[in-house]
Amino acid sequence: MTSKKKIAVVTGGAGFIGSHMVDLLLYKNYHVRVIDNLVGGHKKNLKHNSNNPHLKFNNIDICKLKPNSKLFKNVDYVFHFAGVGDIVPSIENPVNYIMNNVQGTVKVLEAARYSKVKKFIYAASASCYGINEKITKEDSHINLEHPYALSKYLGEKAVFHWNKVYGLSANSIRIFNAYGPRVRTTGAYGAVIGVFFKQKIKNKPLTIVGDGEQSRDFVHVTDVARAFLAAARTTNVGKIYNVGTGKSQTVNYLSDLVGGRKVFIPNRPGEPKRSYSNNNKIKR
């Protein structure tokens, strides 16, 4: 007799990281319910799984979720990736970020609480550390430089409030710079590796912000998905985990790997010169 499949909800499951979370969960024999309003996500990110009977896609805005949503019934794990990203747009439209990343998170938390899910894993952001030239640990100083960082940090605070007050088992993962297949390549503020490849394919110069000597901790998206599943399966509750490689690479180094002409553009607000993680905690 086969054991009953576990059920997972992935909000933002048609997005870059969320769709890789879906891949891993299906591979691990889960039933997966995706919630995505397709504002930032794309159905094409799930197309290769479209014939899998264990995947159910739901075009729903998290801000409109009801506490008694049937999508959360009998769910073991909730992986919450849904929200809006990018630094500069958050400065221009902070209300949208607070609505989606804070109030939207609360809507998901309430649905998870109502259905008594076993574990809630929140996709936080390393942007909460701000402009930090040193290696960042989970207890490093919080320095919220822009509304995006504020909204993601407040979402994390809400998650742990629901853990404390309502007993909802939860962990949070602060993601550094994820890259890999399906990374967003469009828009002025797409992830640098994806943008470089898009420019290379179109035979355009690589656009480098500032002098290119700023460095980032780039972590592959499949490693991020594995970390989220580990944070769900662990008996640990109420924990924060950095997810990065623990190493940093300069943008100039990345551009050299891709090759081609380069164009340097002015610095953007709110960007640290150097960013990399201490990932010992998630490794353990």
Name, in order, each residue with C-beta under 8 angstroms of 191's C-beta and a sequence gap of 6 or more: 177, 178, 179, 183, 184, 185
Nearest to 222 by CA among 24, 79, 70, 64: 24
User: Does residue 70 come out as left (phi exceeding 0), alpha (psi in the -120 to 50 range) or beta?
Assistant: alpha
Let me know how long the chain is.
Answer: 284
**Helix or strand run (H / E) with residue 92:** helix 87-92
Name, in order, each residue with C-beta under 8 angstroms of 200's C-beta and a sequence gap of 6 or more: 206, 258, 259, 260
Catalytic residue among 97, 148, 241, 276: 148
The dihedral built from the CA positions of residue 32, 35, 41 and 47, taken in this order, carries a sign that is positive
Nearest to 239 by CA among 250, 252, 230: 230
DSSP code for 136: B
d(CA 123, CA 171) in angstroms, rounded, equals 9
Backbone angles phi, psi at 23, to 5 degrees: -55, -50
Q: Is 148 assigned a catalytic role?
A: yes
* Residues designated catalytic: 148
